[in-house]
């Protein structure tokens, strides 16, 4: 469980702090999706192999991540981040966005928050998905947590 929490925190912090991406996210993008959104759920998936096959495995792993037990159709916002080695191809990033688009509602705001190249990730790819607003989770019931009036603990930003 500690490794899962560590990967989640690292993935979210790297959304805005890790430069050098093909596509970069800034703090305002993150604020746009999570401000006043209530509960935010995170999924991370990683896979190895040849470009193409591994992205489908990483996407599936992200959607099955223990902290993303939600009905994605009710999400109001989604941030996607894809990190891969120097062998990552743009089609893998596009495939991630398309798969997320298929799983969310028509009014969901999707931000492709980043596509980062990391030479340490050669042969691997990682997908991080943050879903916010209107998401509900059986995980909260399991942990005996009652959402607040905004739908969950949420995140507050100070301007």
Q: How do the domains of the chain map onto residue ranges?
A: 24-142
User: At a CB cut-off of 8 Å and minimum separation 6, what does 67 contact?
Assistant: 4, 8, 41, 42, 43, 139
- What percent of the chain is predicted at pLDDT more than 90? 18
Fold classification of 24-142 is 60s Ribosomal Protein L30; Chain: A; (3.30.1330)
> Which is more confidently placed, 29 or 149?
29
For the cut 50, the answer to whether the pLDDT of residue 155 exceeds it is no
Mean pLDDT of the chain: 76
Own/partner pairs for 102-105, CB < 8 Å, 24+ apart?
103/63, 103/72, 103/73, 104/72, 104/73, 104/75, 104/78, 104/131, 105/72, 105/73, 105/74, 105/75
pLDDT at 55: 93
Closest by CA to 123, choosing from 82, 85, 83, is 85
What are the pLDDT digits (tens) for 104-124?
A: 889 888 888 778 888 888 999
Mean pLDDT of 45-65: 90
């Amino acid at each position: 469980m500690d490794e899962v929490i560590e990967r989640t925190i690292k993935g979210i912090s790297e959304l805005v702090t890790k430069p050098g991406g093909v596509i970069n996210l800034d703090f305002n993008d993150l604020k746009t999706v999570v401000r006043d959104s209530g509960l935010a759920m995170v999924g991370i998936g990683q896979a190895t192999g040849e470009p193409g096959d591994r992205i489908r495995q990483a996407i599936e792993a992200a959607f099955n991540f223990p902290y993303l037990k939600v009905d994605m159709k009710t999400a109001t916002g989604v941030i996607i981040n894809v990190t891969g080695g120097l062998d990552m191809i743009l089609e893998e990033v596009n495939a991630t966005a398309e798969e997320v688009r298929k799983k969310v509602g028509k009014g969901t705001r999707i931000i492709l928050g980043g596509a980062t190249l990391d030479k340490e990730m050669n042969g691997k790819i990682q997908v991080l998905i943050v879903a916010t607003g209107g998401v509900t989770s059986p995980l909260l019931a399991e942990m005996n947590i009652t959402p607040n009036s905004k739908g969950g603990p949420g995140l507050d930003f100070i301007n």
